[in-house]
Amino acid sequence: MTDTHPVLELRNVNKSFGPIDVLHDISLKVKAGEVLCLLGDNGAGKSTLIKTLAGVHKPTTGEIWMDGGRVSFDRPKDAADRGIATVHQFGGTFPLMTIGRSFFVGVEPTKGWGPFKIFDRKKANAVAVKAVQSFGITRIDDGDRLIGGLSGGERQSLAIARAVHFGARVLILDEPTAALGVKQASHVLRIVLEAKKRGIAVIFITHQVTHAMAVGDHFAVLIRGALAANFMRGEKSREEITDLMAGGEALADLDAYMESHDGHAPDLVS
Amino acid sequence: MNSLSFGSLARRPEAGSIVSLLLVVAFFVIFGGVQIDRFLGAASWVNLAANLGIVALPVGLLMIAGELDISIGAMIPAGSMSVAIVSGYYGLPIELGIAVALGLGVIVGLINGLLTIKTSVPSLIITLGSLVAMQGLVLAGSVLLTGSAGVALKAPEWAKFLFGHFFGGSYQVLILWWLALTAIYVFFIHFSRFGNWIFAMGGDKDSARNAGIPTDRMTILLFVLSSTSASFVGMCGAILFNSAQVSGGMNYIFNTIVSVVVGGVLLTGGFGSIVGIFFGAITFAVVTQGIYFTDIDRNWSSLIIGVMLLLAVLMNNSFRQFALNYAPRKKK
Ligand SMILES: Nc1ncnc2c1ncn2[C@@H]1O[C@H](COP(=O)(O)OP(=O)(O)OP(=O)(O)O)[C@@H](O)[C@H]1O
Ligand SMILES: [Mg+2]
């Protein structure tokens, strides 16, 4: 990459909801063509972090930078306009709309003139089907199908294909594989890799180490809203990562204990 | 793609309403001894369907978008009373009366819409508030201004021609408005991009907003549309019958909701069609007016409506399932 600046960077971001501090001093970078896996226990603040990136929340303090310039998002639309796309857990949020229609929600292709512009269904369907097929999901071939009739993996794939089609540069996926079976999840992981190959920065939240190991280049672990670890692929073993994800809380407790007990670990009780 | 196959028709939101209409007509013909030609030519049910349909269309759109407006029950008498008071009691030009009637609809719609987007209170409750408030305002206002609860109105020829006369014997001119409005709605909802926005709003308002759809403006617009349509129907009634009463209108609340649901709109929003709502209003009108043409005691019509409504809700659910599960099978 000739681009030396990270696509997206957080500098000392804090976020609190009234008296509740959720994020503490987070600094993170993600480059183009890189998959950043955001790991952490339930309630660690992962969703809050990505909502801050997506313009849903504003950081209480701290800065967000894109391509070496400071940015500020007042609403999700601002982040979207800068190419930050979020795909939610269940992908298609409009279960009763057709593939073609939901693909183009808000940016419908039209034909005709003046007040008589009509929604170009054929074109919408064709573009949507082509976009998702280019990600290797060839089973989707009819843009008139309803989103609700697709499998979870297909929905995720469609949502990702949609984001990429509309020029996403940063793709945020909040637990895309959580509700999926093994085969469906592997579809989604393949699509994550395909997005990465296209030079998109991917931020991927997951609770499953296998999924993180399969696609991640860069890992960040959140524990109670603080960045507990931030490392590249290969710098830590699978065991260490598993430990960080599952036992991160326990480790933090351990540190706290040792600090207040002159560096002694607690006795093991079995 | 054979888009006219039975399968693809059955998946459409209006399928249920067309089936129920056919069933009701068949029932009346077989068990009620209806002469089908006399029945089809009758104005009574067409008039009712037109009055109901003009209000049911925007109410149905609100339901597709995930909202509800019951204040229409007060907007019908509000529309008829305001034109009658302004142009009948005070004798001011009919243009002014029409403007006041429609303007009142716009204002109430704006209030309903603004309250809905600014608060997280369900629109059912908000419009319940405006329903009761408008009822009070119309009654107290007309007693205060005219000293009575009924006002006569003598509209000029052109106004009667446009809004309130009978053609072909006893067909209200409102029927033509209803047909024209239905055509306009079909265009905007099913052919232009705005329809997509409304379905997206009913599917998930937050995602729709994030996709760049002006959800707030659309919500306000739909509320303005429904309360203005209701006051329009009220206004046309006053011009047609040369008088207006403060009472009446309440049954429109239930009748429009029944029409909309029988028309295949999902109560949870996000699914439905203009053609469905159109047929929903016809079905309702056929049941309640058509029963007079049968040997069946008319008191049974409520039972039929109730059963129809329940069936429609169940059917809508299975149509929805049907539509969701649709995957084209390549047979050839
Ligand atoms: N709007 C809010 N107001 C107050 N507290 C909030 C708000 N949003 C999140 N929180 C709190 O912030 C903490 C982090 O929540 P968040 O949803 O970011 O966790 P998460 O890491 O995504 O968890 P999970 O793995 O369960 O999805 C939680 O304790 C939550 O209760
Ligand atoms: Mg979360």
Among B220, B198, B88, B194, smallest CA distance to B151 is for B88
Range of lowest pLDDT (A130-134, B230-234, B295-299, B304-308)? B295-299
DSSP string, B174-234: HHHHHHHHHHHHHIIIIISHHHHHHHHHHH-HHHHHHTT--HHHHHHHHHHHHHHHHHHHH
Same domain? For A132 and A172 the reply is no
Query: Which of A217, A233, A249 is at the close of a domain?
Result: A233
Q: What's B14-81 look like in SS3? A: CHHHHHHHHHHHHHHHHHHCCCHHHHHCCHHHHHHHHHHHHHHHHHHHHHHCCCCCCCHHHHHHHHHH
CA–CA distance, A174 with A86 (Å, rounded to integer)? 8
More confidently predicted of B34 and A8: A8
**3-class SS shares of chain B: helix, strand, coil, % to 5:** 75, 5, 25
- For residue B42, the model assigns a pLDDT of 86
Same domain? For A66 and A114 the reply is no
Domains of chain B: 2-325 (1.10.3470)
Per-chain mean pLDDT for chain B? 90
- For residue B128, the model assigns a pLDDT of 97
Give yes or no for residue A169 CB within 6 A of ligand 1: no
Atom of ligand 1 minimally distant from the CA of A46 = 21
More confidently predicted of B206 and B47: B47
Q: Taking residues B56-60, what's their average pLDDT? A: 98
Show the domain range for A68.
8-93+168-233
Give a yes or no: residue A105 inside a domain: yes
Q: What is the pLDDT of residues B207-248, one digit of tens each?
A: 888 788 999 999 999 999 999 999 999 999 999 999 999 988
CA–CA distance, A126 with A98 (Å, rounded to integer)? 12
pLDDT for B328 beyond 70: no
Same domain? For A81 and A117 the reply is no
A60 SS3 class: coil
Q: Taking residues B278-297, what's their average pLDDT? A: 89
CA–CA distance, A4 with B222 (Å, rounded to integer)? 49
Say yes or no for a CB contact (<8 Å) between B210 and A97.
no
Say yes or no for a CB contact (<8 Å) between B212 and A77.
yes
Residue B87 carries which DSSP code?
I
DSSP string, B265-276: --TTSS---HHH
Give a yes or no: residue A88 inside a domain: yes
CA–CA distance, B261 with A198 (Å, rounded to integer)? 47
- In sequence order, the β-bridge partners of residue A37 are A204, A219
Residues of B whose CB is below 8 A from A117: 192-193
Q: Taking the model in full, what pTM does it have?
A: 0.85
Give a yes or no: residue A159 inside a domain: no
Give a yes or no: residue A223 inside a domain: yes
Residue with tokens 């987070």: A26
> Helices B123-146 & B72-83, crossing angle to 10 degrees?
20
Here the tokens at position B269 are 């929003």
Total of domains in chain A: 2
CA–CA distance, B36 with A97 (Å, rounded to integer)? 39
Residues ≥6 apart with Cβ < 8 Å to A223: A40, A41, A44, A248, A249, A251, A252
Question: Percent of chain B, pLDDT > 90?
Answer: 65
- For residue B10, the model assigns a pLDDT of 63
Question: What is the Cα gyration radius of chain B?
Answer: 20
CA–CA distance, B59 with B53 (Å, rounded to integer)? 10
Say yes or no for a CB contact (<8 Å) between A142 and B212.
no
CA–CA distance, B217 with B11 (Å, rounded to integer)? 31
Task: Kindly give the distance from the C-alpha atom of residue A47 to the centroid of ligand 1, in angstroms, as a whole number.
Answer: 6
Among B63, B197, B204, B268, the strongest candidate for a mutation testing the A interface, having the largest count of A CBs within 10 A, is B204
Q: How far is A107 from chain B, CA to nearest CA, in Å?
A: 8
More confidently predicted of B72 and A259: B72
- For residue A114, the model assigns a pLDDT of 79
Give a yes or no: residue A255 inside a domain: no
Give yes or no for residue A177 CB within 6 A of ligand 1: no
Say yes or no for a CB contact (<8 Å) between B213 and A106.
yes
H or E element at residue A20: strand A20-30
Out of A77, A96, A106, closest to residue B203 by CB: A96
Q: How far is B218 from chain A, CA to nearest CA, in Å?
A: 12
Same domain? For A101 and A82 the reply is no
Residues of A whose CB is below 8 A from B1: 144
Query: What residues of chain A score a pLDDT lower than 50?
Result: 1-2, 270
Mutate to test the pocket of ligand 1, among A39, A48, A60 (most ligand atoms within 8 A of CB): A48
Residue B281 confidence class, pLDDT cut points 50, 70, 90: very high
Give a yes or no: residue A266 inside a domain: no
For ligand 1, atom 22, the nearest C-alpha belongs to A47
B186 interfaces chain A, CB cutoff of 8 Å: no
B199 interfaces chain A, CB cutoff of 8 Å: yes
Here the tokens at position B292 are 């007079």
Q: What is the pLDDT of residues B122-166, one digit of tens each?
A: 999 999 999 999 999 999 999 999 998 899 999 999 999 999 999
Give yes or no for residue A17 CB within 6 A of ligand 1: yes
Atom of ligand 1 minimally distant from the CA of A57 = 1
- For residue B194, the model assigns a pLDDT of 92
Answer for the pair B13, B276: CB distance below 8 angstroms, yes or no.
yes
Phi/psi at B244 (5° precision): -140, 145
Same domain? For A201 and A82 the reply is yes
Same domain? For A87 and A107 the reply is no
pLDDT for B329 beyond 80: no
Give yes or no for residue A86 CB within 6 A of ligand 1: no
Length of chain A counted residue by residue: 270
CA–CA distance, A160 with A228 (Å, rounded to integer)? 29
Same domain? For A103 and A71 the reply is no
Among A90, A93, A150, A154, the strongest candidate for a mutation testing the B interface, having the largest count of B CBs within 10 A, is A93
Residue B103 confidence class, pLDDT cut points 50, 70, 90: very high
Same domain? For A18 and A71 the reply is yes
Task: Kindly give the distance from the C-alpha atom of residue A128 to the centroid of ligand 2, in angstroms, as a whole number.
Answer: 28
CA–CA distance, B221 with B225 (Å, rounded to integer)? 6
- For residue B330, the model assigns a pLDDT of 42
- For residue B3, the model assigns a pLDDT of 43
CA angle A17, A21, A22 (to 5 degrees): 85
Same domain? For A80 and A64 the reply is yes
Query: Which of A84, A117, A149 is at the close of a domain?
Result: A149
Residues of A whose CB is below 8 A from B208: 105-106
User: A175-188: string of b/e by CB count within 10 Å (b at 16+)?
Assistant: bbbeebeeebbebb
- Ligand with an atom nearest the CA of residue A48: 1
Say yes or no for a CB contact (<8 Å) between B196 and A105.
yes
- Ligand with an atom nearest the CA of residue A44: 1
Residues ≥6 apart with Cβ < 8 Å to A175: A89, A205, A206, A207
Give a yes or no: residue A62 inside a domain: yes
Q: What is the pLDDT of residues A87-141, one digit of tens each?
A: 876 555 788 899 999 999 888 898 988 778 899 999 999 999 999 898 888 888 8
Residues ≥6 apart with Cβ < 8 Å to A77: A55, B210, B212
Helices (H), chain A: 46-53, 76-81, 99-103, 121-133, 152-165, 182-197, 209-215, 238-260
- For residue A270, the model assigns a pLDDT of 43
Phi/psi at A8 (5° precision): -140, 135
The strand pair at A35-40 and A218-223 is best described as: parallel
- For residue B167, the model assigns a pLDDT of 94
Q: What's B238-250 look like in SS3? A: HHHHCEEECCCCH
For chain A, what is the largest distance between any 2 Cα atoms, rounded to a whole number of angstroms?
A: 78
First-to-last alpha carbon distance for chain B, in angstroms, is 12
B195 interfaces chain A, CB cutoff of 8 Å: yes
Q: Taking residues B197-213, what's their average pLDDT? A: 89
- For residue A90, the model assigns a pLDDT of 59
CA–CA distance, A195 with A34 (Å, rounded to integer)? 10
Range of lowest pLDDT (B77-91, B225-239, B316-330)? B316-330
Residue type, A6: P
More confidently predicted of A24 and B331: A24
Here the tokens at position B40 are 């089809």
Same domain? For A124 and A185 the reply is no
Out of A101, A119, A141, closest to residue B192 by CB: A119
Give yes or no for residue A44 CB within 6 A of ligand 1: yes
Residue of A nearest to B325 (CA): A149
Same domain? For A72 and A178 the reply is yes
Q: How far is B99 from chain A, CA to nearest CA, in Å?
A: 25
CA–CA distance, B249 with B235 (Å, rounded to integer)? 12
CA–CA distance, B290 with B303 (Å, rounded to integer)? 14
What CATH number does the domain containing A48 carry? 3.40.50.300
CA–CA distance, A47 with A206 (Å, rounded to integer)? 11
Answer for the pair B180, B186: CB distance below 8 angstroms, yes or no.
no
Same domain? For A121 and A87 the reply is no
Residue of A nearest to B193 (CA): A119
- In sequence order, the β-bridge partners of residue A264 are none
Give a yes or no: residue A113 inside a domain: yes
ipTM: 0.81
